[in-house]
Amino acid sequence: HSQSQPSIIRLNQLGYYPNAVKQIAVLTDSAETFKITTPDRKRVIFTGKLKDVRKDSLSGKSVRLADFSSVAQPGKYVFVLDKETYTEPFAIKTNVYRPLATGSLKGFYYQRASTPLPAEFAGEWARAAGHPDTQVQVHPSAASDGRPKGTIISSPGGWYDAGDYNKYIVNSGITVGTLLSLLEDFPTIAKALKTNIPESDNALPDLLDETLWNLRWMLTMQDPSDGGVYHKLTNAKFDGMVMPDKATATRYVVQKSVTATLDFTAVMAQASRVLKPYERQLPGLADSCLQAAQRAWQWAGANPKALYDQDALNRRYKPDIVTGAYGDKDASDEQIWAATELYITTKDDTYYKAIKLFPDEKTPLPSWAQVRTLAYYALVRNAASLTPIGKRDLPQVKRYIMELADRFSTGIDQQAYGTAMGQRASDFIWGSSAEAANQGIALLVAYKYTSGPNKKQYLRSALSNLDYLLGRNAVGYSFVTGFGTQTPLHPHHRPSVADGVEAPVPGLLSGGTNAQATQQDKCAGYTSTAPDEVYLDADCSYASNEIAINWNAPLVYLTTALEALQAD
User: Which residue, 27 or 162, is less far from ligand 9MR as judged by CB?
Assistant: 162
Strand partners, 64: 26
Nearest approach, Cβ of residue 547 and ligand 9MR (Å): 8
Q: How far is the CB of 14 from ligand 9MR (least distance, A)?
A: 25
Rule CB under 6 A: is residue 548 a binding residue for ligand 9MR? yes
Active site residue 546: yes
At residue 394, the 3 state secondary structure works out as helix
Q: Does 499 bind ligand 9MR (CB under 6 A)?
A: no
DSSP code at position 244: G
Looking only at residues 262 through 301 of this chain, which bind ligand 9MR when binding is defined by CB under 6 A? none
What is the C-alpha to C-alpha distance for residues 212 and 458, in angstroms, rounded to an integer? 31
Helix (H) or strand (E) holding 389: helix 388-409
Neighbours of 199 (CB within 10 A): 17
> Is residue 161 a contact point for ligand 9MR (CB under 6 A)?
yes
Q: Which of 435, 499, 521, 537 is catalytic?
A: 537
For residues 115 and 175, which CB has a smaller minimum distance to ligand 9MR in the complex? 175
Q: Residue 37 is which amino acid?
A: T
Q: Is 341 an annotated catalytic residue? A: no
Beta strands in 431-552 (DSSP E): none
Active-site residue among 131, 139, 231, 492?
492
* Part in contact with ligand 9MR (CB under 6 A); list of ranges 84-92, 161-169, 211-219, 309-317: 161-169
Is residue 427 part of the annotated active site? The answer reads no
Distance CA 521, CA 21 (A): 37
Question: Is 401 or 421 the residue whose CB approaches ligand 9MR more closely?
Answer: 421
> CA torsion, points 340, 343, 345, 348, in degrees to nearest 10?
180
d(CA 28, CA 15): 22
Q: Which residues pair with 307 in a beta bridge?
A: none
Confirm or reject binding of residue 521 to ligand 9MR (CB under 6 A): no
Near ligand 9MR in 319-378, by CB under 6 A: 324-326
108 binds ligand 9MR (CB under 6 A): no
What is the smallest separation between the CB atom of 345 and ligand 9MR, expressed in angstroms? 28
Q: How far apart are CA 542 and CA 538, in angstroms?
A: 8
Does 162 engage in binding with ligand 9MR (CB under 6 A)? yes
Binding ligand 9MR (rule: CB under 6 A), the pick from 56, 133, 164, 532 is 164
Q: Do 329 and 256 contact (CB within 8 A), yes or no?
A: no
State the minimum distance, in angstroms, from the CB of residue 173 to ligand 9MR.
13
Q: Minimal distance in Å, beta carbon 543 to ligand 9MR?
A: 7
Choosing from 164, 226, 427, 546, the catalytic residue is 546
d(CA 212, CA 413): 41
Q: How far is the CB of 367 from ligand 9MR (least distance, A)?
A: 7
Residue 278: other Cβ atoms inside 10 A: 16
| 427 near ligand 9MR, rule: CB under 6 A | no
- Find the radius of gyration of the CA atoms of the chain: 23
Please, what is the Cα angle at 281 between 279 and 286, to 5 degrees? Answer: 35
> What is the smallest separation between the CB atom of 40 and ligand 9MR, expressed in angstroms?
43
Residue 69 near residue 467, CB atoms below 8 Å: no
| DSSP notation for 151-187 | -EE-----B--BSSS-EEHHHHHHHHHHHHHHHHHSH
Among 333, 341, 521, 546, contact with ligand 9MR (rule: CB under 6 A): 546
Residue, CB closest to ligand 9MR = 324
Identity of the residue, 266 or 429, whose beta carbon is nearer to ligand 9MR in the bound complex = 429
Q: Which is nearer to ligand 9MR, 97 or 430 (CB)?
A: 430
User: In the complex, what is the shortest distance from the CB of residue 322 to ligand 9MR, in angstroms, rounded to a whole number?
Assistant: 10
Q: Which is nearer to ligand 9MR, 400 or 551 (CB)?
A: 551
Pairing between strand 136-138 and 252-253? parallel
Which residues, at least 6 apart from 510, have a Cβ–Cβ distance to it below 8 Å? 433, 477, 479, 480, 481, 488, 491, 537, 544, 545, 546, 547, 551
Residue 241 is classified by DSSP as S
| Only segment of 16-24, 149-157, 527-535, 540-548 that touches ligand 9MR (CB under 6 A) | 540-548
Pattern of binders to ligand 9MR over 429-458, x per CB under 6 A?
-xx---------------------------
In the complex, least distance from residue 167 CB atom to ligand 9MR, rounded to whole angstroms: 10
What distance in Å separates the CA atoms of residue 430 and residue 215, rounded to the nearest whole number?
Answer: 26
> At residue 482, what are phi and psi to the nearest 5 degrees?
80, 0
Interface mask (CB under 6 A) for ligand 9MR, residues 220-259, using x and -?
----------------------------------------
# of chain residues touching ligand 9MR (CB under 6 A): 11
Nearest distance from residue 224's CB to ligand 9MR, in Å? 27
Q: Which is nearer to ligand 9MR, 228 or 491 (CB)?
A: 491
In the complex with ligand 9MR, the residue whose CB is nearer, 471 or 511, is 511
- Classify residue 321 by its DSSP letter: -
Q: Among 52-60, 160-168, 378-386, 413-421, which window interacts with ligand 9MR (CB under 6 A)?
A: 160-168
- First-to-last alpha carbon distance for the chain, in angstroms, is 34
Spacing of C-alpha 325 from chain mean position: 18
Q: Which is nearer to ligand 9MR, 227 or 495 (CB)?
A: 495
Q: Report d(CA 169, CA 218) in Å as an integer.
A: 7
C-alpha distances in Å from residue 331, one per residue of 12, 210, 244, 304: 38, 28, 33, 8
Q: Which residues are at the interface with ligand 9MR (CB under 6 A)?
A: 161-162, 164, 324-326, 430-431, 542, 546, 548
Active-site residues, by number, are 492, 537, 546
